[in-house]
Amino acid sequence: MKRTIDDVIYKEMDRMFKCNLCDKSYTDSNTLKTHQRIHTGEKPYSCDVCDKSFTRLSILKDHIKTHTKCKPFKCDYCNKSFTQYGSLYKHKKIHTGEKQFQCNLCDKSFIQKINLKTHQRIHTGEKSFQCNMCNKKYRYSRDLKNHKITHTNISSFSCDLCYNSYTYYSSLKRHKRLKH
């Protein structure tokens, strides 16, 4: 009996492995397991040089190249070299001006999909980054990182005129502008 493309598609749909935490589906269980590491945070592959960890062995292998001097992928525009082809590919878009990721809510466009996703938080109000000490939420990881400093009671920036101390340099600048 001859198989048609519809038979193949139907069979593949029967073998779909669905993630129970998001709407992604895969045709084999190993790919699903690897995907689910995004949700669990599991990173079983570690670099022996710098202790960074990764969800997939292939990503670790690419990462290990960053510890060598070998950078075989060179930009035709500026001669900057990269350890991975994907990094060169993204870099070249800086020169070409190609911004293929367009926001559907405003006229902004971006070189990388991750930058579009980050931008869209402005429209959605999504605040994914939560402080584990006070539960305050932030739109960007850098804002959470800055916030966490407030829990340390460390004041690194001192006024040289009155010796008040501040956690942030911007707070010290504002103090000087308003008080001195």
Tell me the per-residue pLDDT of 16-66, one tens digit each, with 9 for 90 and over: 899 888 888 899 999 999 999 988 889 999 999 998 999 999 999 988 888
Give the number of other Cβ atoms within 10 Å of residue 83's Cβ.
Answer: 19
> Residue 91: CA atoms inside 13 Å, Cβ hemisphere, count?
16
Provide the whole-model pTM.
0.47
Q: Give me Rg for the CA atoms of the chain.
A: 24
- Residue 134: strand, helix, or coil: coil
Cβ–Cβ < 8 Å for 154, 167:
yes
Q: 89-143, pLDDT tens digit by residue?
A: 989 998 998 899 999 999 999 988 999 999 999 999 999 889 989 999 999 888 8
Taken as a whole, the chain contains a residue count of 180
